[in-house]
Structure 1
Amino acid sequence: MKPSLVLSTVLSLLLPHAAHAGDCAERIATITPGKLTVAAYDYPPFTFASPDGTITGIDPQIVTRFATDHCLDVVTQVMDPAATIQSVISGKADVAIGSWNRTEKRRQVLDQSAPLYIDHMGIYSKAGDTTIAATLGKRAGTVTGFFWVSDLQKLFGSNLKLYPTPVALAQDLAADRLDVGFLGYNAGSYNQKAQGAYPGIAIRIAEPDDRIQATVLPPQTTVLYTKGNTSLGTALDLSIAHQHADGSMAKAVQDVGFDPALLDVGAPRFVK
């Protein structure tokens, strides 16, 4: 797949200043010299993480390629999702991965790489709803922490139930205690195909609706890294641009069954 115009522009601007793969003359500041410490959690297919520190998946491929090109050894720390962010903030890890969205709130305490891929909002229902309009008046649910929660609350009011986890929401959908759920499309569609999750539930990308920002400008995912580490951020952005341009990132998403159109990220943006 050809890189987007935005990514091509980034690549053309940065390329004259880039170190070639395998050229370690460019020093990148990391917690431990010569190593890239990566905080990760198990979130297939973006990150498959085992307790022994082995990580595979889309995001690990991206950071491993970056580390290899800059002669850095990858050191992994597998932990709970919230702990990965705190690990970077506290200076115990250089980067955090796991399909993290680029957000204004995280921007206050972390820096965020150039966009990786799009994280669409999904509509989960037995009826196969694809539009927000089709879901209005129904018993709806979503999980706390998604940035579209406030928009949904304005539309659904008391008809919207908040859940602590996707598992709890899925249980109510299956038992007909809920008519429609709003969760991330990528993870749900993968788990349905690979693990048989959400039986009997149709998972669709929500069509654009001005009332829900996430459907108009879907969040972009990122690699989170230590705030102020310019050498790491610049090199990471360049590597991401290369991986978009040379097709390696497209292969990574296709390998897990995703449409490479997820890589059409557009101009970098932060969601509120």
Structure 2
Amino acid sequence: MQSFFRPAIRVALGLCAATTLSFAAAQGAAPASYNVGATATGIPFTFLDIKTNNIQGMMVDTVQAVAKAGGFQVNVQQTVFSALIPSLTSSKIDIISAAMLKTEARQQVVDFSEPVYSYGEGLMVKADDNRDYPTLDGLKGEIVGAQVGTVFVDMLQKKGIFKEVRTYDSVADMTRDLALGRIKAGVGDQPIMLYQIEQKAFKGVKMANGYKSTNVSDVCLIVRKGDTETLDRVNKAIATIKADGTLAQIVKKWGI
């Protein structure tokens, strides 16, 4: 009698456990881990550390701090900047953590978290160019450059005063053409260009004298359009790391 009922009890318990798991899935239990897209060309926000072969930077530290505060894990993956949003919308990644500015156009296809940092564009010229460039108007009729996939390409094209707007896969590629005199100036993320110049990673170029940013926007974590569950988790965690000083410490660590 006892040997007959034991298997039956095990089956019943198994069915009960399966039902519980199915119910949890149906209720949309929050994922324990998210795949995060970051670029290898956005120093100091995101970059590939050749010693560890891992993506590092301010936005990597930020998303890891958000994960810790939010009680989930993150798997940071190297993704080309122009492929970040397509990778997100196709579910190859779940979150973008990179130096990607919040814009109205991007808000049509993805959702942005609360801001973690804000900045505008910077103007880079050859090291021997001592002219003052308070605005882009001083470059009328010149060939200028910007990184493909950034808001700066559209900004330059809409300006409509340049001989040509060339696009580059990375700021480093743009900088090489600038140093060689193939373009007159390069426009990009001000903190990224300034950091690289100060670290002497970019040779033969400098930040333009007197230039003031006009396209200041927020850097946020980015999720799929309509993914309110992930967005809520991320925003709550961002509020936590702002309140306890963790985010300020990360920003200070990377000198931006």
TM over 0.5: yes
Q: How far, CA to CA, are the matches of 2:186 and 2:239 in structure 1?
A: 34
Count of residue correspondences: 223
Give the aligned CA root-mean-square deviation in angstroms. Answer: 2.9
User: Which residue among 124, 138, 141 is the counterpart of 2:144?
Assistant: 141
Residue 228 (structure 2) pairs with residue 230 (structure 1):
yes
Give how far 1:128 is off: 5.6
Secondary structure of the corresponding residue to residue 98 of structure 1: coil
Secondary structure of the corresponding residue to residue 38 of structure 1: strand
**% identical aligned pairs:** 25
Segments of 5+ residues of structure 1 without an aligned counterpart are 1-26, 209-214, 259-272
Secondary structure of the corresponding residue to residue 255 of structure 2: coil
Runs of 4+ in 1 over 6 A off after TM superposition: none
Give how far 1:225 is off: 0.8
User: Which residue among 129, 132, 135 is the counterpart of 1:132?
Assistant: 135
CA contact (8 A) 1:45 1:190 kept: yes
2:211 aligns with 206
Residue 71 (structure 2) pairs with residue 71 (structure 1):
yes
Residue 246 (structure 2) pairs with residue 256 (structure 1):
no
Q: How far, CA to CA, are the matches of 2:248 and 2:109 in structure 1?
A: 30
1:44 aligns with 43
CA distance 1:169–1:246, change in 2 (3 Å): same
Q: How far, CA to CA, are the matches of 2:93 and 2:99 in structure 1?
A: 17
Cα-to-partner distance string for 1:118-172 (whole Å, 9 max, x where unaligned): 2321111222634116724462402244434455345553434323343443233
Secondary structure of the corresponding residue to residue 85 of structure 1: helix
Amino acid at match of 1:89: T
2:58 aligns with 58
CA contact (8 A) 1:140 1:181 kept: no
Cα-to-partner distance string for 1:89-128 (whole Å, 9 max, x where unaligned): 1223220111111122222222111112123211112226
Mapping 1:1-272, distance limit 5 Å: 33-42=31-40, 43-49=42-48, 54-125=54-125, 126-127=129-130, 129-132=132-135, 135-137=138-140, 139-143=142-146, 144-153=148-157, 155=159, 157-165=161-169, 166-203=171-208, 206-207=211-212, 215=214, 217-258=215-256
Name which of structure 1's ranges 157-166 and 66-75 shifts more when overlaid on structure 2: 157-166
Segments of 5+ residues of structure 2 without an aligned counterpart are 1-26
CA contact (8 A) 1:113 1:223 kept: yes
CA distance 1:57–1:160, change in 2 (3 Å): same
Give how far 1:192 is off: 1.3
Q: Larger Cα Rg: Structure 1 or Structure 2?
A: 2
Q: How far, CA to CA, are the matches of 2:66 and 2:29 in structure 1?
A: 14
